[in-house]
Structure 1
Amino acid sequence: MSRLWASDFAYAFRRSPVAIGATAVVLVLVLAAIFAPLIAPHDPFNPATLNLMNGFTPPGTPNAFTGDTFWLGTDDQGRDVFSTILYGLRISLFVGFSAVLLALIIGVTLGLIAGYAGGWAETIIMRVADVQLTFPAILVAMLIFGVAKGITPPEYRNQMAIWVLIIAIGLSDWVQFARVVRGATLVEKNKEYVQAARLIGRTGPAIMLRHILPNVLSPVLVIATISLALAIIAEATLSFLGVGAPPTQPSLGTLIRIGQGFLFSGEWWILLFPSITLLALALAVNLMGDWLRDALNPRLK
């Protein structure tokens, strides 16, 4: 641990107030989502705990009928907005992390194969990637989500909606990983350590996994961090459009869609606080990704 703390990476982190602040925001939000059942004053999705008389209670103001006070107010069903944000964060972060992991696995695997094998394998993989890049990622995700939801039996659609959302976002975001890993693999495969591995009889998959992969992970880590913010925003966009998380498992995007319907009737807090949470999360993750890019690329120092 002391060696890690004394490393150049840790030194650069300590010297960057932006990185420290962004990391602190992300940690607070992630921990709040993980421990939501312990932190949230109410379970907003348990009908037995709801009181419709608490509906539309402004932030910090005692309810006129029940006398209950809520930090961030309540929505139309009397659900505590603070509690709904904590539980919505869990869905948004779970979808974001899972989608990035899926995109990373697919992209890194295809990028390694394209860069190391070359030939027809590289041509097919990269042409598919080029075609996918001509379409906005959100449209690709909507198309995949629509097709996957269409082939899912109606009785399982709500149960499978989150997993379908993860697959849709993951399949729309693998191209960046594949392109970067392919370029790095083209450089690494001609180096002496790879030639030595071939001479001692190591197979292609073994060389890719044990020798080339560890040397191309730095840019992958940066892309994964930035892609996490994009995946969270993509999930929020899909849920806001009504084609993402189901109402029974609302994410931040779903909460924003619900709040948007009450914005012009005066209940501004239902929209404002989930929006601020989403903005803070996406901005903090993006700032972390920018700092990682600068810290792991000596040319930018």
Structure 2
Amino acid sequence: MPFTDDHERRQPGTTDLAAAAESGGTLARARDRLHRFVDSDVFYSFRKSPITVAAFAVTLLCFVCAFGAPWIAPHDTNDVATLDLMNAELPPVWLEGGDWRYILGTDDQGRDVLSAIMFGMQVSLIVGFASVIFAMVLGVGLGLISGYVGGRLDHFIMRVADVQLSFPSVLVALLLFGFAKTVLPRGMQDDVAILVLIFAIGLSSWVQFARTVRGSTMVEKNKEYVQAARVIGRRPLPIMLQHILPNVMGPVLVIATINLALAIITEATLSFLGVGVPPTQPSLGTLIRFGNNFLFSGQWWMTIFPGTALVALALAVNLLGDWLRDALNPKLR
């Protein structure tokens, strides 16, 4: 009995020591990964490129402003009760008549332009990210099947891709969005407008993913590790997902980064044409469209500042995509 009591008293301490050792091992592994990343060629090329560092800083600032808008925006533009038409069309603070409460001025409804840009950028980034993920999943899946299976299925998928490439992506997205709006009931159109927009943009940009993955898959499927997987009896689907897919993801990440900027611009274009997100959820394109009505009346800030934010975000993401392409391809260094 004394031995049992003593054993029970020592158990909690042993457990605590084991937990502390496991936590220390996890922390050590995390430090090792961090050191390896800091010493890697990718991070070296990143910190040696001032343009890439500046692009990353601008992109990070846009993300913080967009997704932190409910907490850091000066005003809540989604709350109609806070709007005051007496403050409509105020110029930026450095011009005569400006108000320090509205640093970049106000629009025709009295909304703060700076806050509207923050909330609008959030919608643009959500649509851009979701559409790129949808296009990447669809394109990578079709590219794997096309490159691995080959034959008539490969010819069919590639001919569909060729036909789609003959049309501009904005036109394809515009046609898909218009078709969806005619099919859906009028009462549901505003509720699912963002989902339809994501589907339309994603379906118009899957071709690049599919063609790139198809070419890489046709090379990888003839290598020895894939043939060994076939010999041991692995089925085609596990071979594609577990063996080939990890080895073709490098170019896919580069395409996804560049397509993010294109998706944001496509969303802005559709919203500028009036077929994008509903006015109750304004994006950068919607803000530019509304401000364009007052551009020649002297209220230039309503469209210039949202347009500048769109250009800065798209340019920064494109520069990061160019750097990522060079960093992941040793032949371009």
The alpha carbon displacement at 1:297 in A equals 1.0
In the alignment, what sits opposite 1:243?
275
* Equivalent AA in structure 2 for residue 43 of structure 1: D
Q: Is 1:55 equivalent to 2:88 in the alignment? A: yes
Check conservation: 1:240, 1:253, Cα contact below 8 A: yes
> Which residue of the partner structure matches residue 226 of structure 2?
194
1:102 aligns with 2:134: yes
Equivalents in 2 of 1:247, 1:58: separation in Å? 23
The separation in 1 between residues aligned to 2:168 and 2:233, in whole angstroms, is: 43
What is the 5 A alignment of 1:63-212?
69-212=101-244
Amino acid aligned to 2:308: I
Deviation at 1:69, TM superposition (A): 3.4
1:15 aligned onto 2:48: yes
Q: Deviations over 1:106-165 (max 9, x none)?
A: 000000000000011101111100010011111000000011111111111111111100
Across the aligned residues of Structure 1 and Structure 2, the Cα RMSD in angstroms comes to: 1.3
Contact 1:54 1:68 in 2 (8 A): no
Separation in structure 2 between the aligned mates of residue 164 and residue 125 of structure 1, nearest angstrom = 23
Q: Secondary structure at the match of 1:159?
A: coil
The CA deviation at 1:62 is: 9.1
Structure 1 residues 280 and 158 mapped into 2: Cα distance closer, same or farther (>3 Å)?
same
For 1:241, give the aligned amino acid: L
Q: Which residue in the other structure is 2:27 paired with?
A: none
1:205 alignment partner AA: L
Give the share of equivalent positions with the same residue, in percent.
Answer: 63
One of 77, 80, 84 as aligned partner of 1:44 = 77
Alpha-carbon deviation of 1:63?
9.2
Q: Provide the residue aligned with 2:39 in structure 1.
A: 6
Q: Which residue of 1 aligns with 2:263?
A: 231
Could you give the per-residue CA deviations for residues 21-61 of structure 1, whole angstroms, max 9, x where no partner exists? 11111111011111101111111121100010000111116
Counterpart-to-counterpart distance in 1, 2:80 and 2:257:
37
Ranges in structure 1 where 5+ consecutive residues have no aligned partner: none
CA contact (8 A) 1:62 1:69 kept: no
Distance (Å, rounded) in 2 between the aligned partners of 1:25 and 1:127: 39
Q: Secondary structure at the match of 2:199?
A: helix
Letter in 1 for 2:257: T
CA deviations 1:69-93 (Å, max 9, x no partner) are 3110000000000000000001000
Q: Which residue of 2 aligns with 1:30?
A: 63
Q: Is the 8 A contact 1:219 1:293 kept in 2?
A: yes
**Deviation of the 1:254 alpha carbon:** 0.2
* Structure 1 residues 216-262: Cα deviation after superposition (integer angstroms, max 9, x where no partner): 00100010000000000000000000011110011000000011100
Q: Does 1:268 align with 2:296?
A: no
Query: Judging changes above 3 Å, is the alpha-carbon distance between structure 1 residues 62 and 17 closer, same or farther for their aligned structure 2 residues?
Result: closer
Give the secondary structure class of the aligned counterpart of 1:72.
Answer: coil
In the alignment, does 2:255 pair up with 1:218?
no
Unaligned runs of 5+ in 2: 1-33
Contact 2:99–2:105 (Cα < 8 Å) also in 1:
no
Alpha-carbon separation, structure 2, partners of 1:86 and 1:119? 49
Structure 1 residues 227 and 62, CA gap change in structure 2 (3 angstroms)? closer
Q: Is the 8 A contact 2:85 2:109 kept in 1?
A: yes
- Kept after mapping to 2: 8 A contact 1:25/1:280: yes
| TM-superposed deviation, 1:208 | 0.4
- What is the Cα deviation at residue 100 of structure 1? 0.3
In structure 2, give the amino acid aligned to 1:155. Answer: G
The 1:47–1:110 alpha-carbon spacing in structure 2 relative to 1, beyond 3 Å, is same
Equivalent pair of 1:92/1:236 in contact (CA under 8 Å): yes
> Which shows bigger deviation, 224-233 or 17-26?
17-26
Partners of 1:219 and 1:18 lie apart in 2 by 22
Q: What amino acid does structure 2 have at the position aligned with 1:104?
A: M
| Corresponding pairs, count | 300
Task: Say which one has the larger Rg.
Answer: 2
Retained in 2: the 8 A contact 1:57–1:63? no
Residue 200 of structure 2 aligns to a residue in which SS? helix
